[in-house]
Amino acid sequence: MALTIKRVLVTGGAGFLGSHLCARLLDEGHDVLCVDNYFTGSKANIEPLLKRPHFEAMRHDVTFPLYVEVDEIFNLACPASPIHYQFDPVQTTKTSVVGAINMLGLAKRVKAKIFQASTSEVYGDPTISPQAEDYRGNVNPLGPRACYDEGKRAAETLFFDYHRQHGVRIKVARIFNTYGPRMHPNDGRVVSNFIVQALRGQPITLYGDGSQTRAFCFVDDLVEGFVRLMATDEDCTGPMNLGNPHEISVAELARRVIDLTGSNSEIVYRPLPQDDPLQRCPDISFAKSKLGWEPQVRLEVGLSRTIEYFRELLTSK
């Protein structure tokens, strides 16, 4: 059956995840409108796409209404690393909440299907592991991470209320730790931090004792999950966990990065930041059963590809 070409809007399309998603949608033959205010996104991320005839980039902040004609919307707009979303916490909350209202309003007007990039941070510092979609979380609503955590929780509320009240077709994915090329080198995330520090021969910073665990999903696997979830029938709204269910301690991750980079960096320890979760691991049973999806890229392979990206980036700078 011939592919139906769709007009697809990707907010946050010049960011780490958004740029990979834009490229994937173009490869599938769709018309893609990338919208970004470039707070954390980068024109360099989408530069290779600008020459493609079915790609268009627009500078726009989703906290203001947007009037375009599209068939599908992927709402990825929001700073996603603590160093960025804590820089202007009020704006972070507005991006999640007002941005969701504006994009849902657009979807309602043009009858578009809309995807929300939610986050595992809606689970806060979990008291159970792994986290399944029916776990309601353990979030501090007053802490320094609340602008992101609660903003995303409110966005999910809005998505389901628009679905129930107005019949908007929604898909909600809860994204767990993801890594890969085009991560921001100064985003404060553990993978990019470790790789950049190792390549520069600087001490690798571990917060706490390094025993806290994370589960890392390569960006190509995550984008595959996005596309599959968006293509499901209308009964499958989510929320759906998308991430890697195999945990690793951050101390072990640091050792692997040192080995793969051939670095002489030493490990130094710093106090654990407030509300930093000790465990973060998804239960992906729902994604497996509904999408036939699970991560395929092994950690060593994904880390090697990410290290090569940062090696070239640091060399060019």
Domain 7-249+251-316, CATH number (from 3.90.1150.10, 3.30.70.120, 3.40.640.10, 3.40.50.720): 3.40.50.720
pLDDT tens readout for residues 14-63: 999 999 999 999 999 999 999 999 999 999 999 999 999 999 999 999 99
Domain boundaries, the chain: 7-249+251-316
At residue 1, the pLDDT reads 41
**Would you state the torsion angle of the CA atoms of residues 201, 301, 120, 77, taken in this order, to the nearest 10 degrees?**
80
148 among known catalytic residues: yes
pLDDT at 4: 86
Q: What is the pLDDT of residue 274?
A: 79
Q: Out of 85, 123, 135, 148, pick the active-site residue.
A: 148
pTM > 0.85: yes or no? yes
Could you give the CA distance from residue 279 to residue 236 in angstroms, rounded to a whole number?
28
Helix axes 299-316, 190-200, angle to 10 degrees: 60
